[in-house]
């Protein structure tokens, strides 16, 4: 991105006229089609790049040839070791695809929850999800269960369930007279998240047998994309895809909600129904992301904000752009997690904040006007 885009520089400075809503220059923002095309290209490039590198160096030409053998049935002679093929197809590609899905889901959930809560600090975990997921995961570690669904083990499954349960609890606690005021949602979410988070710490302390293995539990909580079987993606991809489509269809409602609930009501939006839908879709997206990637921070906060700076706040433009950016960003962050210190794996949550933070702050500084949701 070139520095000081003329579109933004010519806008009236909100800081100088704080009481006047600055005229939105929607027409002079980059065309949404162009932005989406660029982001799609970026995502494809990120995926190819991430597939080419990893803890183990594989020759790019061999990768191309083994891929052609797989996809098109060509018969290039194998100049590579059998395990190279296993590494590429069974371990690396599912992981890259998983990172893209998790990034997309987190960014989508971030857009939905920021729109719903009208709060710039809202992220996919705002409604108690992080605490619920952590508690579910800890239960998965402690209960020594053995069951699985399409390649998911108890820990991610219970994390998914914990995320949904936490959000349901938050929603029911926040309800006052048939409405769920945004402030109540935020505060209930904060309280439930903190309570469940500390319940996890308490469980870990109570369970003496687990203590030697605390690094393992904490490493899960720090987040890391884990796809051990393609079948897992068969479950997650349709779930995330449908939830994102649903979120996009709710885009106009979210736009109306940004004017306030009363205004939205007057515009004909079924406010409480649509809020409930947004919460359900957001929790499905976040829960799916948590099941594949643990608690990965910052993506869901950062991708929506960045794209709001570029394409504006209209949700039907914002959502697909943020989803593409989130996917590309997490694919690259996960590449770093795999390849920065081989053979050691770094929890990807550390990298998302380290890499995404400065980028976002730089963009915020460049904007030179008050940031608005």
Partner 1 sequence: MPIRSVPTLAALVAAALLALGALAPAQAQGQSQTMFPSPITVTDDSGVQTTFNAPPQRIVSLNPGHTETVFALGAGDRLVAVDSYSDYPPAAQQIQPRLTTYPSVSIETIVSLKPDLVLALVERDDVLVPLRQQGVPVLKFLPKDFQAATEEIATLGRVLGTPDRGAALAAQMRARRDAIVQAVAGAPRPRLYYEMDASDPTKPFAAGPNGFYGQLVDLAGATNIFGDLPGDFSQVSAESVVARDPELIILADAYLPYNAQTPALVAARPGWDEISAVQTNAIYAIQEEYFAWPSPRLADGLESLAYLVHPDRFAAAGGVQLSTKDGVEPYCAPGQSPSFSFGFQALSEALGPSMGQPTECAHADVASGDTYQQTTKGLAIYRRADNVPSFTSALGRWALTADGVVEQDSGRSDTP
Q: Where does this chain bind partner 1 (CB under 8 A)? A: 54-56, 82-87, 89-92, 94-95, 140-144, 153, 155, 205, 208-216, 219-220, 224, 226-230, 338, 342-345
Of 127 and 351, nearer to partner 1 (C-beta) is: 351
Tokens of 258: 């940004």
DSSP state of 123: -
Whole-number minimum distance, CB 343 to partner 1, in Å? 3
Whole-number minimum distance, CB 143 to partner 1, in Å? 7
Measuring CA to CA, which residue among 327, 94, 351, 87 is closest to residue 224?
Answer: 351
3-class DSSP state of 135: helix
Of 48 and 86, nearer to partner 1 (C-beta) is: 86
Of 141 and 360, nearer to partner 1 (C-beta) is: 141
3-class DSSP state of 77: coil
Residue 64 to residues 41, 46, 88: CA-CA distances in angstroms? 19, 16, 11
Of 14 and 55, nearer to partner 1 (C-beta) is: 55
Whole-number minimum distance, CB 137 to partner 1, in Å? 10
Q: Which contiguous run of DSSP H or E holds residue 337?
A: helix 315-339
Count of Cβ atoms closer than 10 Å to residue 317 Cβ: 20
- DSSP one-letter string for 250-266: THHHHHHHTT-HHHHHH
Count of Cβ atoms closer than 10 Å to residue 46 Cβ: 23
Of 208 and 262, nearer to partner 1 (C-beta) is: 208
3-class DSSP state of 176: strand
Whole-number minimum distance, CB 23 to partner 1, in Å? 50
Calpha distance 178→180 (Å, rounded) = 7
Of 173 and 235, nearer to partner 1 (C-beta) is: 235
Whole-number minimum distance, CB 210 to partner 1, in Å? 7
Whole-number minimum distance, CB 295 to partner 1, in Å? 13
């Amino acid at each position: 991105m070139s520095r000081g885009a003329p579109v933004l520089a010519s806008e009236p400075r909100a800081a100088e006229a704080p009481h006047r809503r600055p005229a939105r220059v929607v027409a002079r923002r980059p065309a949404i089609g162009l932005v989406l095309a660029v982001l799609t290209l970026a995502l494809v490039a990120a995926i190819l790049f991430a597939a080419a590198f990893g803890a183990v160096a594989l020759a790019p030409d061999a990768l191309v040839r083994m891929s052609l053998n797989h996809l098109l049935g060509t018969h290039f002679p194998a100049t590579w070791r059998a395990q190279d093929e296993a590494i590429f197809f069974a371990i690396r590609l599912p992981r890259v695809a998983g990172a893209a899905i998790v990034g997309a889901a987190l960014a989508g959930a971030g857009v939905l929850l920021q729109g719903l809560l009208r709060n710039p600090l809202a992220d996919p975990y705002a409604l108690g999800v992080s605490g619920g997921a952590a508690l579910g995961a800890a239960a998965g570690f402690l209960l020594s269960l053995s069951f699985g669904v399409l390649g998911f083990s108890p820990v991610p499954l219970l994390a998914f369930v914990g995320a949904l349960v936490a959000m349901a609890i938050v929603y029911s606690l926040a309800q006052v007279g048939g409405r769920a005021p945004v402030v109540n949602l935020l505060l209930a979410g904060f309280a439930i998240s903190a309570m469940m988070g500390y319940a996890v710490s308490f469980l870990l302390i109570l369970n003496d047998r687990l203590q030697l293995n605390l690094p393992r539990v904490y490493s899960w909580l720090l987040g890391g994309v884990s796809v051990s079987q393609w079948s897992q993606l068969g479950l997650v991809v349709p779930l995330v895809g449908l939830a994102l489509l649903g979120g996009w269809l709710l885009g106009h409602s979210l736009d109306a909600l940004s004017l306030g609930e009363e205004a939205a009501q007057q515009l004909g939006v079924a406010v409480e129904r649509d809020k409930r839908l947004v919460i359900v879709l957001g929790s499905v997206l976040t829960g799916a992301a948590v099941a594949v990637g643990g608690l990965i921070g910052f993506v869901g906060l950062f991708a929506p904000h960045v794209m709001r700076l570029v394409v504006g706040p209209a949700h039907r433009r914002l959502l697909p752009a943020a989803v593409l950016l989130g996917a590309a960003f997490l694919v690259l962050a996960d590449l770093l997690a795999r390849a920065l210190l081989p053979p050691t794996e770094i929890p990807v949550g550390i990298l998302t904040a380290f890499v995404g933070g400065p980028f976002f702050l730089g963009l915020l500084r460049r904007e030179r006007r008050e940031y608005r949701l």
